[in-house]
Amino acid sequence: MSGWKPQRPNGADVTFFLCDDAKCGPGSKVSYRLYPPNTTMTIEQFRASQEQTIKLLDRRVPGQTTTILGVDGDKGTGVPRVFRVRRLKVAPDGTREYQVSGVLFGVKGSASLISSADSEKGSTTNFAQFAVPVLVLLGLPPRQ
């Protein structure tokens, strides 16, 4: 994808990209991790897990505050489906980072996808840009 440079974290099984172009917002990050198929998680379970996640994120960095701006997703257990949470992370120095974190479900597997940018629009746009190819990678159901 244009403007994105693949990064290789040490020994991680995460695929990570860093933006170096005005189109995606220099310094923006997107990463995803693939998992085996999972069709049992519900939007309610995802929402509850996000409440726990922000508590853990804020405990790691004293003075940081993370706020959930919204949670949305497909109802049911069919595939493909996507759950997303939009968050605002404010660092102790006042720096703001907008994040969209989601779980994507396909026939062949599931994935976590996280997009971070200095604007809410940027994080949302970048998440959407990567969600489509990740869903294709996870396998779309055959047409009926």
The tens-digit pLDDT sequence of the chain (144 residues) is: 788 998 876 666 888 999 999 989 999 999 999 999 877 889 999 999 999 999 999 999 999 999 999 999 988 778 889 999 999 999 999 999 999 999 999 999 999 999 999 999 999 999 999 999 999 999 876 655
Distance between CA atoms of 139 and 39, rounded to whole angstroms?
13
Q: Which domain holds residue 120?
A: 4-138
CATH code for the domain of 102 = 3.40.1000.10
Q: Which of 134, 128, 122 is nearest to 28 (CA)?
A: 122
Other Cβ atoms less than 10 A from the Cβ of 61: the count is: 12
Would residue 144 count as lying in a domain?
no
Q: Is the omega angle on the peptide bond into residue 62 within 30 degrees of 0, that is, cis?
A: no
Distances (CA, A) of 9 to 13, 31, 57, 61, 138: 8, 11, 19, 21, 22
